[in-house]
Amino acid sequence: MADTYSRGKRVFVERPLELVLLTVGVALVADLLSKLANGTVTVLTLSIFLKDGIVIGLVIGLAGVGLSMTYSILNFANFAHGEYLTAGAFAGWVATYLVAGAGTVSAGDLFLLGVSGGADAGTVGASVFSTPLAVLVGFAVAVAFGVALALALDRLVYRPMRGQGAISLLIASIGVALALRYLLAFVFGTSRTGITGGTLPTYTVPVIDLIFNAHELALVAAALAMMGGVHLLLRRTKLGKAMRAMADNPDLARVTGIPTERVVRATWIIGGGLTGAAGYLVVLETGTISFDYGWTLLLLIFAAVILGGIGSIYGAMLGGLTIGIASTLSLIWIPSDFTHAAAFAVMILILLTRPSGLFSGVTTA
């Protein structure tokens, strides 16, 4: 009894911020329940928010896995990660357009994705339903391009800098981000354009009347499959073990004979592939593309990774879901132009109260 009291007192004195956060969280849940009870927020609204949150959260989680892996194994925050997302998406959608619109529109216009040029979303009509093959090809190309880009940039920029401090690498990644983003702007222009077209089948969940479409379904399925694949890879293969060893202690890993350079390459391959896939999927779901959307997602991805604990793969996935759901649910209380600010604020608070993340305890997987 006295022991519990003194422990409680210690928590109260040493971690006031955490206690405040907990109180705020409990208050918000209570408020949500009361709003549901008196009908200010309907079950349908809540379920739409949850669905949107899960959809965006899965994308953020998928991209976050790559960021988290490079963060823990190469030990630096890669600010160019958002651009890997955009570049993968552009490559994938160029492939989709070239396949879907072959014969009807000139290849040059298809290449430009209607961002500039004559191939608009309506004439090409790319979607999971009407052009499944083109979407599959595009998805594969997005993954492949993500991998190729990550490896090429590692060779050009990061490998010559191995052993330099985290901050030097971080600054270099900011330079990479600038160069990549505006190369995309140079080729595809700076406007935001519609990408997917045609009518989509929708599905209704009985009882609560929640409607979701084929693209959301495809995104959820693809994201979950890729996360499952990463789980198997890290848990069941020797590579996964080597990665976890390197994240824990790179010097020790090298001494025990783990080929560290090969592990680094594998990290980039997995991270780049997942990020390219995430970029492709987010465009599939939102239906628009622009040269800077990866950059706008970057801080949210960082938020997810930090929330889950840097280096933790499952943490990144859960963190992504949490950030996604939190940013949509926050619409119940705050105006929509503050949702990103709210997500960033949550990230800052997590960094201050639990720098090792909410779901941490183990690093890497």
Partner 1 sequence: MGVSADRLSARLPGGDGALILAVFLALYAGFGLLGVLLGLDANGLASTLQRITFFAAVYALLALALNLQWGYAGLFNIGVAGFMAVGVYTMAMLTAPTDPGTGGLPGLGLPLPVGIVGGMLAAALVGALAALPALRLKADYLAIVTLALSEIIRIVYNSTSLRTFSIAGVDLGTGGSQGLALPTNPINALFYSDARSPASPPTALGEAAFGLFGAAGVQHTTVVDWTYTLVLVVFVWLFYRLLSRVGNSPFGRVLKAIREDELVARSLGKDTGRFKIKTFMLGCALMGLGGILWQGSQSYVSPNNFLPILTFYIFIALIIGGSGSNTGSVIGGALFVGLLFEGPTFVRRLVAQQIPLGDAPDTFVAAVEPLASLDVTPLLAYALGNLASLRFVLAGVVLVYFVQTRPKGLLGHRKEIAASVDLSERPNRPARADGGERR
Selection from 365, 324, 131 nearest residue 234 by Cα: 365
69 CB-contact burial (10 Å; exposed 0-12 / middle 13-18 / buried 19+): buried
CA atoms 158, 267, 300, 81: torsion sign: positive
| 326 near partner 1 (CB under 8 A) | no
DSSP alpha helix (H) spans, the chain: 2-14, 16-38, 43-74, 81-100, 107-111, 121-124, 132-153, 166-188, 214-236, 238-248, 250-255, 260-286, 293-308, 313-329, 339-353
Q: Which two tokens stand for residue 114?
A: 């209607």
21 binds partner 1 (CB under 8 A): no
In degrees rounded to 5, what are phi and psi of residue 114? 70, -5
Q: How far is the CB of 343 from partner 1 (least distance, A)?
A: 9
CA separation for the pair 83, 100 (Å, rounded): 25
Closest CB to partner 1 among residues 77, 243 = 77
Q: Which of 102, 339, 295, 300 is nearest to 190 (CA)?
A: 295
List CB contacts of 60: < 8 A, sequence separation 6 or more.
278, 297, 300, 301, 304, 319, 320, 323, 324
19: contact with partner 1 by CB under 8 A: no
Do strands 210-213 and 202-205 pair parallel, antiparallel, or not at all (unpaired)?
antiparallel
The answer to whether 232 and 357 are in contact (CB under 8 A) is no
Nearer to partner 1 among residue 185 and residue 210 (C-beta):
185
Closest separation in Å from C-beta 73 to partner 1: 15
What would you measure as the largest C-alpha separation in the chain, in angstroms? 80
Interface characters, 109-138, with partner 1 (x: CB under 8 A): x-xx---xx---------------------
Applying CB under 8 A, which of residues 93, 145, 302, 359 lies at the interface with partner 1?
A: 302
Q: Which of 2, 37, 103, 337 binds partner 1 (CB under 8 A)?
A: 337
Q: Please, which of residues 30-69 interact with partner 1 by CB under 8 A?
A: none
297 binds partner 1 (CB under 8 A): no
333 contributes a contact to partner 1 by CB under 8 A? no
Q: Binding residue for partner 1 (CB under 8 A) from 50, 224, 287, 338?
A: 338
268 binds partner 1 (CB under 8 A): no
Tell me: does residue 104 bind partner 1 (CB under 8 A).
no
Structure tokens at 20: 């405040």
| Cβ distance to partner 1 smaller for residue 38 or 336 | 336
- Least separation in angstroms between residue 216's CB and partner 1 is 27
76 binds partner 1 (CB under 8 A): yes
Using CB under 8 A as the binding rule, whether residue 16 contacts partner 1 is answered as no
Structure tokens at 218: 């495809």
Q: How many residues bind partner 1 (CB under 8 A)?
A: 51
Count of Cβ atoms closer than 10 Å to residue 18 Cβ = 15
- Tally Cβ neighbours within 10 Å of residue 232: 10
User: Whole-angstrom distance between the N-terminal and C-terminal Cα of the chain?
Assistant: 38
Q: How far is the CB of 315 from partner 1 (least distance, A)?
A: 16
Binders in 153-212 for partner 1, by CB under 8 A: 157, 160-161, 164, 166-168, 170-172, 174-183, 185-190
The radius of gyration computed from the CA coordinates of the chain, to the nearest angstrom, equals 22
108 near partner 1, judged by CB under 8 A: yes
- The distance of closest approach from Cβ of residue 215 to partner 1 in the complex, given in angstroms and rounded to an integer, is 28
Shortest distance in whole angstroms from residue 194 CB to partner 1? 17
Instruction: Enumerate residues 342-361 that contact partner 1 by CB under 8 A.
Output: 344-345, 347-348, 351-352, 355
Confirm or reject binding of residue 224 to partner 1 (CB under 8 A). no
Binding site for partner 1 (CB under 8 A): 17, 76-77, 108-109, 111-112, 116-117, 157, 160-161, 164, 166-168, 170-172, 174-183, 185-190, 299, 302-303, 306, 335, 337-338, 340-341, 344-345, 347-348, 351-352, 355
